Each structure stands twice: as C-alpha cells, then as structure tokens.
Amino acid sequence: MKNIICSLLFILPVLLWGKEIAVTTPQELEKAVKNAAPGDKIIIDNTSPWKDVKLKVSGKGNKEHPILITTADNQALFIEGISSLSIGGEYLHIRNFYFRRGQAPDKYLIRFRTSQDNLANHCTIENFVIDHYNKPHRFDNDNWVVLYGKHNTVTKCTFDGKINSGPMLIVEIEDEKSQQNFHTIRHNHFKNRYRLGSNGGETMRFGVSRYSIYDSNTQLIDNYFEHCSGETEIVSIKSGSNYIARNVFWECEGSIVLRHGDHNVVDGNLFDGNFKKETGGIRIVNSGHTIKNNTLKNLRGKGFRAPLAIMNGVPNSLINRYMPVKDVEIFDNTFVDSEILVFGAGNDNERSVAPQNITFRDNSFVHYPKEWYINTNDGGIIFQNNKFTDQYTNKAMPSDRFGSSLAVRKQVDGSIKPVKHLVTDAAHLQQYLDDAHANDTLLLQLNHTHISLKEPLKINKPIALIATQPYTFVSNSFKSMPAFILITNGGSLHIANFHFLGTFESYGNVGAGISTDKAGVLQSYQLTVKNCTFTDFNESSFAGIKAEKSSFADSLIVKNCFFYNISGTGIAFNAEKEDKGIYNVENALIQDCIFSNILGSAIDIYRGGNDESTTGPFVEIYHCTFNEVDNKEQGAAIRLIGPQFIRFAYNNIYQSGQGGRSIECREFRYHDIKIENSNFYETGKIDTFYPHNIGKNTALLPALIPYSKLNKKLPQSFNKNKTIGSHELL
C-alpha cells in the first residue's frame, strides 16, 4: 500500500500539470503544440540546425499552467536560411531559439499571430538570439519581432546586427485586439543597429501615426541599447500611455522620440554618449508626458538629437505631422557634460506653435555652461529650482547583465594580425585579394607600369592596396567594365598611388575607377583614396569614384588626388534620386585634390527630400583646386544637394560653373553650412537658400602655374606645362 501511495504521489503532478513531450522536427513541434494541454512541456531534442522553416505554433495554456516550449539542456536551437516563427493562442512560453545565417521570408521574422484571427495573448519568448539576420539588400524592409495581441512578453533576448530597413521590434496597435496591450519588453540587449542612411532605421517602434490616438500601454523596462544608430529615432513612440524605464543607451546616435501619442512616461533611463557625435537623449512631441529621474551624460547630439529637445508644433496639425507640445512635466533629471537643451526645436514657417505649460523643475546640471539651453520662442517653459554643480557620482551598467545567455560575447582574436603581402605579379591580383585576410595590405611592386584587367577587381573584405610607385589600371577587354575596382558586400578599401585610365587604346570603356557593386551593398563600408589619378572617363554617366544605389559609405576620404579629362563626374555619390531622404555617404572628407577639365560636376553628393530622421551627410572639402569644371548652361562645379553639414574652405575655384553655379546647395534652415575662406574667380554664383551660410571669400585672379609645380602625381602622358590657378599660391 505504501508503495502504491508513493507511486501516485510521483505521477500526480504529471497528471495534474502536464506531461513532457519530446520532438525533433518542425512538423512534430507544430503538432505537439496544437495538441498540448495546459502545463505540458515540449522539449526540442535536436542538435542539427533547422533550415528554411516557416514555423507556426498555436496552442492554449492558462495562467497557472502555460505550455512551455524549450530545448534539451537549454541548448540553442539554431534556425537558419529563409525562416520565420509565427505564434498564436494563449500562454505559450518559448525559449532558446537562435536565428543566424539567414533572412526572413517576407516582412517579419517572429510574429505574435498566425493569422488575422489567431493572435497571441499572454505569450512569451525568452532567451532568443537574432544575429545579423538580414535580407541581402539594404532597402528590403522587414522587422525581426512584431507584437500583436495583448500581454505578450519579450525577455532576456539578444538582437544583434540589423542592417537593412525596418525596426528590430515593433508593437502593432491597428485594432482593439492589440490596443491597450500591456506588452512587456525587458532585460533584452539591442545592439549594432547600423546606420541606414535613410528613414526606417529605428531600433523599435510602438504604433504608427494613423492609430496614435490610441493607447498601447507597453512597458519597455531594464533593457540595454548599444550602438543603436540606424537613424534619429532609436525608440519611436507613436502611441499613448507607454512606460519607458531603467533602460541604458550606450553610444547610440539618436534619441527616445515621443513622436505621436499622449501621456507617455520616460523614467530612470541612463543615456551615455561617451562623447560620440550625434548621441542624443529624449525628444518630445504631443501632450501630457512625464520625463523624470533620467541621467543624460556625455551626449554630443544637437538640434533634434539634443539631450532634451521639445518640438514646436504645427497649427491644426494632421495626425502624421507635429501636434503641439503641452502639459509636460520634466523633473529630477540629471544632465552631465552634454550639449545644450533645445526648447522649440524645428521652429519654422510650418512648425510655428510654441510648447505650452511645460514644467521644468528640480533638474541638475553638471559641468554645464551658463547658456545651457536655447528657446526659439517666447515663454511656454516654467523653470523651477534647477541646480548647477560640479559634483557627480558616475553610473555604469555593464551590458553583460542583459540579453540571452546563448549570445556569444565576440572577442577580437589577437592571434590574427594584419599582414603585408608583397605582390609582384599583377595577373593574379584578384587571387591575392581573395586569399588575404581582413585588414591585410597588398603591397604592389611590379616590373611593368600597367595593370591590365579583363574584369573588375572585387573587394569583399577590408583591405589595403598600396603601390610602391604609380601603376596604371587599364582595360584589355573589348567589353565595357563598370569599374576597375568594385566594392562588394563586406568590403572596405584603402588605396594609394595608382592611376586609373578610363580609356585605353581600342579596348572597351570603363565606367569608374572605383565603384560599388550595382547589385547593391548591404553592409556599410569605408573608402580611403590617396595619391591617385583618375583620367579619361569619357561618358556623361562615368566618374572617377562613384557609388551605386543601395550602397552606403560610413566614411569616404579622398586626399591628394587628381581628376582630369572626365566627361562625367569626378566624385559621384548621387545615386539615390527618389527624394526620400536616402543618401550614399555619411562622412565625406575631400582634401588637397585637383579637379580639372571635367564636363560634369567635380563633386556631386545628393540627399533629396525633406526627411528629418537622419543627420548626414557630413561633407568637408578643404584645399582643393577646381579648374574648368562644368561650364554647361545651368551646371554646377560642386553639387551638394541635401548634406546637413558642409565645410567648404581654403579652396580655389577658377573658370568653373560659368554657365550656372560654382556651388549648388539645397539646404534647410537647420543645416550647418559654411562656405568661406575660398577664392572664386570667373565662376558661376554660389547658390544657397540661406545667404548667411556664405562667409568671407575672395574673387582674385590666381597665379597661373604649370601643373608640374603642384607636386601632384600625374600620368606620364599629361601635359605638365598646362597652367592652372592654384590655391597653393593665393
């Protein structure tokens, strides 16, 4: 009898609270969840990755006894290829999925519904990893996690490396089944949301403007955001009554933005920019918000990315524009060694309604100047009992407290060091490039002056290509080539001491010296070009250096280069022409270069439209000479359409842009532009919308000297006795 009682006591919990079910395949998992009872535990016992699976799991647990879906020994279930997960039903708790080496099949990777009618409620994903699970093209939009239904939770997950368009996580509130949802997002690690160069690079978004009058009631608490810099809005709030608390933002180029919706609370968050440019804090639109107990330190964002920016509103605003800001409480926040605050950000002819009834009290400022804010309006802000001090106790929050236990903490392998490879045979240069490791240097030392190519060299890793003396790239293919060097996905290039000759004997034309792949480049790249010459690119669409659509350079540096006899453009980063705020380069530095006898523009950098979700491009042009460049009717020697930061100084522009403009800009009033300390002789006008962007310049006849005295690397065939107006003699 005693043995019978013991046996009953052993099996009673299983009978009452569910059983364990082992599965090994996606099909078995879906069937097991469908047939599971409350309290069942489904264990995935499989050591092989699942590939190209579209999982749909739907079942019904209850509050006391959810259905648990986990893995044997809490190991990672790797999911690869073109895969997705849809969750429906109630009280499902899923653990330990790891998405890698693949992409979502359509607009979502993980979705909390299996159909329009079967939403997830009270469901949880825990200890997930999504690692660089990107579509192959930058503007193929998708979202990694989409929350529908109510009372769902995302916890202890790591989301790492989103490159393409679309937030990592969104909360949908498109109908009453998903409004007032009380979702919880906590203890996660969001990292490496890379710059997109366009709108659509948020890390997460709650709601959309269309439904922003409805409350979401989502809690975003105790998460770590690291290098989330896709665009201005890191967390984009477009709904009401959300609670954003105790999160850490480390070196993130952007802000929490209360874009639409009322009565949101931002409480106890830590923003640490570590003095990186464009790192921001909190931006406020709409009414009834509470901003309290936050620490904002070492932030270097300005304007919309200021540590605190309160927007001006639009009179009778449409729901998708800027509702006036009013009745906001801001108190007990600490601002440490950061940029000044902005009250009335975006004040212009459209956004003319000042913030109203904003209480700003009991806030502390550490290491701040007397001029600690800008108010673009009169009144509207009530200041009370704010304090200034030099005393501050540093707060730090290690990232390893957050995210999934499955995430690999990537360490730099110190055993793999960059290597220099001596190349003496140009015929196998592509093989050398393929065999090299990332960050290696190929040092060319050839016994001939020409490098003949039948197809472009492809760069698919960070690499340096250095010539010991000037070698000339030429084509020996009767077919045209897009470029001598193509930067493909994963590639970055540092190149020095080469001549790119676009037309050679009777061989086919070459479209550019250096270009990106026309198929698109998913990852951002860096390009540095020094002591190079680009000549004889003889079509209007050709260029010395160019970027194709769907490519984005984090950094472009061109120094001591010479662009001559080009029918197209010298440097062309102008491929995104849809006027949607998309652009091809974030930071461009062009210095000590000569542009001469160019039919098109010497430099053409384009960012069209009026989108305000990014801050680039940043363009700096110093100590350059422009000689006989784009003298066509209504031409422009330098075309800078839309860069939000321009420094043009110590340059000489001579007999250029005579049919139209020496420089053409299309800027907004908040752009930071200075054109100064340069010489314009027999040139077209400087065309800017705001004349105050033009500083002190001269219009003097420069000394005309032969090219041979410029100390530039020129091709042997060049007439070095030809004269040019040199800024170096001004």
- 265 — phi, psi (to 5°)? -120, 125
Chosen domain end from 63, 94, 126: 126
* 16 is a domain residue: no
Instruction: Please indicate, yes or no, whether residues 477 and 579 belong to a single structural domain of this protein.
Output: yes
Query: What is the β-pairing status of strands 512-516 and 485-487?
Result: parallel
Instruction: Please indicate, yes or no, whether residues 360 and 244 belong to a single structural domain of this protein.
Output: yes
Give pLDDT, residue 702: 82
Residue 347: Cβ within 10 Å count: 20
d(CA 252, CA 235) in angstroms, rounded, equals: 11
Q: Which class for 506: exposed (0-12), middle (13-18), buried (19 or more C-beta within 10 A)?
A: exposed
- Ordered mean pLDDT values, 10 residues apiece, the chain (730 residues): 46 62 97 97 93 98 97 96 98 98 97 97 98 95 98 98 97 97 98 95 97 97 97 97 98 97 98 96 98 98 96 95 97 97 94 97 95 93 95 79 85 71 93 96 94 97 96 95 97 97 94 96 97 94 97 97 95 94 97 94 95 92 95 96 96 95 92 95 94 94 73 59 52
Instruction: Please indicate, yes or no, whether residues 181 and 323 belong to a single structural domain of this protein.
Output: yes
Instruction: Please indicate, yes or no, whether residues 91 and 198 belong to a single structural domain of this protein.
Output: no
Which region holds residue 720: left if phi is over 0, alpha if psi is between -120 and 50, else beta?
A: alpha
Cis bond before residue 66 (omega within 30° of 0): no
8, amino acid identity: L
The whole-angstrom distance between residue 516's C-alpha and the CA centroid of its chain comes to 18
Q: Which class for 32: exposed (0-12), middle (13-18), buried (19 or more C-beta within 10 A)?
A: buried
Give pLDDT, residue 370: 87
Instruction: Please indicate, yes or no, whether residues 352 and 224 belong to a single structural domain of this protein.
Output: yes
Q: Domains in the chain: how many in total?
A: 3
* 414 is a domain residue: no
Instruction: Please indicate, yes or no, whether residues 87 and 180 belong to a single structural domain of this protein.
Output: no
**What residues make up the domain containing 190?**
135-407
Chosen domain end from 100, 126, 152: 126
CA distances in angstroms from 512 to 107, 256, 474, 484, 499, listed in the order given: 35, 41, 11, 7, 12
Instruction: Please indicate, yes or no, whether residues 449 and 518 belong to a single structural domain of this protein.
Output: yes
Give pLDDT, residue 399: 77
User: Comparing C-alpha atoms, which of 320, 65, 375 is closest to residue 207?
Assistant: 320
d(CA 178, CA 183) in angstroms, rounded, equals: 10
Instruction: Please indicate, yes or no, whether residues 555 and 579 belong to a single structural domain of this protein.
Output: yes
Report pTM.
0.93
Is residue 107 within 8 Å of residue 133, measured between CB atoms?
no
* 23 is a domain residue: no
Place of tokens 């739907």: 58
219 beta partners = 184, 243
3-class DSSP state for residue 154? strand
* 413 is a domain residue: no
User: Comparing C-alpha atoms, which of 601, 604, 677, 680 is closest to residue 642?
Assistant: 604
The Cβ-side half-sphere exposure at 707, using a 13 Å CA radius, reads 20
CATH of the domain at 644: 2.160.20
Instruction: Please indicate, yes or no, whether residues 116 and 143 belong to a single structural domain of this protein.
Output: no
Using only C-alpha atoms, what is the Rg of the chain?
A: 29
* 349 is a domain residue: yes
Place of tokens 């690999």: 408
Instruction: Please indicate, yes or no, whether residues 246 and 317 belong to a single structural domain of this protein.
Output: yes
d(CA 704, CA 695) in angstroms, rounded, equals: 25
d(CA 500, CA 490) in angstroms, rounded, equals: 23
Token pair, residue 663, equals 């420089």
The whole-angstrom distance between residue 200's C-alpha and the CA centroid of its chain comes to 9
Give pLDDT, residue 642: 94
d(CA 311, CA 283) in angstroms, rounded, equals: 7
Instruction: Please indicate, yes or no, whether residues 569 and 514 belong to a single structural domain of this protein.
Output: yes
Residue 699: Cβ within 10 Å count: 10
Token pair, residue 540, equals 């209007």
Instruction: Please indicate, yes or no, whether residues 446 and 343 belong to a single structural domain of this protein.
Output: no
* 610 is a domain residue: yes
CATH of the domain at 271: 2.160.20.10
Chosen domain end from 71, 99, 126: 126
* 204 is a domain residue: yes
Is residue 480 within 8 Å of residue 509, measured between CB atoms?
yes
Token pair, residue 426, equals 């140009």
Token pair, residue 565, equals 């006899």
Give pLDDT, residue 471: 94
Give pLDDT, residue 428: 92
Give pLDDT, residue 362: 98
* 15 is a domain residue: no
